[in-house]
Amino acid sequence: MLNNPLILRYRYNLMRPRKFWIYVTVYVSVIILILLLNYIAYKQREMFTRPINFSRNVFLHLTVLQILVLCLLSAINSGSAIKQEVIGNSYDFFRMLPISASKKTIGILVGKNLIMLLFAAANFLLLTIFGIYRQINMLELMQNFFALICISLFINSTVLLSSINKISNKKSSNTAVIILLCLLLSPLLFRYFTAIDKLGEITSKFYTIEMPSTILVGLVMLYFSCWSIAGILRKFTLEDEPLFSRIRAFLFMLGFEFVCLGLFYTYLTKENTTYIWPVNYLYWLISLLPVLLVPLGSLRRFDKYLEHSGLIQDKSGGKNMMIRMLMYSNLSLGLGLFSIWIVGAVGTTLIAGLKLLPCLHIILVLFSFYLFLFLLLELKVVYTSLSNKAGLLLGFITAVYIILPLILEGILPKHNYFDLFSPAGFIFSLFRESLKRIDIRNSIWITNFILCIIPILLILKRHIYILNMRRKM
């Protein structure tokens, strides 16, 4: 692995004695500070009357440090690698390097984090020492390490993927991804710290298989890391292609549904039915995430449409070109993903033993929201080539679509169903049981479908333009 030229390149830079010893000094100082402060507290305060309390706190603080090193600092490094190439005008050289995509991935993830990995290894050693002193079972300790490594791998690979998928000259665009990931994982980390004394005893179920929670978390993170890495490899190999091919997008969606259902299965099949419906809706909302996010990372751009229209012309000889173009467009991806989601949603409704018809009605409303928003996204794709501010206008329309009904709800208190016309309001209302009136639900989806007419016409107009242009080429 050390023969990887990228690791060599980063090693040259990071391991220069002047730099290296500064990093080491900072790290050693932090460790000494942790030990010293805990020792003072141990000596001074009554709560640390037993030596085991001292090692317990050191273990906890070292774990925090390890999370900072493995999940935050390394993620910043991983996410900045490509950005630095772009900003430094060396990205073309990087792209032209004749090394495999996997070598590039390992080169960045390991090479950029050489120092962090060194500190993480030292930390693991200290954690083991204090863990043993704290009388933590070795197996439990290893499970903790496994979970930490998997979480770190997931965060690092996802941040790297996001930096490749949207290459820009802005320095800060990855910070948002890191913050988002940290927010998403913070409940998990909170639970981790609060239960650090009895981690080995906490178990979770995946479908019917019971296992330690740390193992389950690690496996789930590992699963999604594999997808992130597959995405990185794809972007390094097929630079111009969207992040997901159609098949990969559908496979990812199916996999997500499978994992999500596995985690929810126990709660959906509990005999106590009081909380079944909110659990069911929660499952719906979580499994909706990839339906929203996968298309964002997999959009086919306008120039791809142009390119593909040529292939269609050659293959079809000019027949059914519009249908073929629409099949190729992002719309088919959105509809495909939503169809898979519907299957999952209906499945959980049946598993939970809830009434199917009202749920189908809600699914129809959710679909109408999704369709309108997706059409706005597609409008951005096909009209950005005409004006690069098209996205701004469509973003504004989206914001109005989401926020205006909520404002109307506030200023028109007598008509307290306006918030249902916003996707955000509707989603919140799923947990408020305010959806009982069928006439309101019908008016929502009908309104949304009417709103969809103009975007559909505009999109069709643009597709006709593409096909006409292709004929003229």
Partner 1 sequence: MQILQANNIRKEFGSLVAINNVSLSLEQGQVLGLIGPNGAGKTTLLRILATVLRPTKGTVKTLGYDSAKEYLRIRKHIGYLPDFFNLYNDLTLHECLEFFAKAYQVDEDLIPQRITDMLKYVELEHKRNDFIRHLSRGMVQRMGVAVLLIQDPELFLLDEPASGLDPKARIQLRSVLKKLSNEGKTIIISSHILTELSGLCSHISLMNKGNIVMHGAVDEIQQKVFSTKVICVSVLENCQRAAQLIKEFPNTEIRTVEGNEITFEITANDTELAALNSHLISAGIKVFNFGEKKTDLEDLFMEISTEE
Least distance (Å) from partner 1 to the CB of residue 98?
A: 4
Pick the binder of partner 1 from 22, 26, 64, 97 (CB under 8 A).
97
Are residues 173 and 82 in contact, defined by beta-carbon separation less than 8 angstroms? no
Q: Alpha helix (H) ranges present in 271-385?
A: 276-297, 302-316, 321-328, 330-352, 356-383
Query: Does residue 303 touch partner 1 according to CB under 8 A?
Result: yes
Query: Does residue 473 touch partner 1 according to CB under 8 A?
Result: yes
Pick the binder of partner 1 from 96, 121, 183, 247 (CB under 8 A).
96
Based on CB atoms, which residue is closest to partner 1, 316 or 416? Answer: 316
Any idea what DSSP says for residue 301? P
- Identify any residues that bridge with 203 across adjacent strands, giving them in sequence order: 212
Q: Within positions 310 to 369, which residues make up the interface with partner 1, using CB under 8 A?
A: 310
Residue of 188, 187, 180 lying closest to 150 (CA atoms): 188
Query: Does residue 88 touch partner 1 according to CB under 8 A?
Result: yes
Residue of 374, 438, 431, 434 lying closest to 401 (CA atoms): 374
Pick the binder of partner 1 from 307, 319, 332, 350 (CB under 8 A).
307
Query: Does residue 468 touch partner 1 according to CB under 8 A?
Result: no
Based on CB atoms, which residue is closest to partner 1, 201 or 303? Answer: 303
Q: Alpha helix (H) ranges present in 45-170?
A: 51-67, 74-87, 91-96, 101-111, 114-133, 138-165
Structure tokens, 72: 């935050």
CB-based burial of residue 218 (10 Å sphere; 0-12 exposed, 13-18 middle, 19+ buried)?
Answer: buried
Least distance (Å) from partner 1 to the CB of residue 239?
A: 8
CB-based burial of residue 230 (10 Å sphere; 0-12 exposed, 13-18 middle, 19+ buried)?
Answer: middle
Q: Give the integer Cα–Cα distance in Å for 91 and 41.
A: 51
Query: Does residue 385 touch partner 1 according to CB under 8 A?
Result: yes
Distance, C-alpha 471 to centroid of its chain: 40
Number of residues that bind partner 1 (CB under 8 A): 28
Pick the binder of partner 1 from 98, 187, 317, 413 (CB under 8 A).
98
For partner 1, what does the binding mask look like between residues 239 and 268, x meaning CB under 8 A?
Answer: -x----------------------------
For partner 1, what does the binding mask look like between residues 5 and 24, x meaning CB under 8 A?
Answer: xx-xx--xx-----------
State the residues that interact with partner 1 by CB under 8 A.
Answer: 3, 5-6, 8-9, 12-13, 88-90, 92-93, 95-99, 237, 240, 302-303, 306-307, 310, 384-386, 473
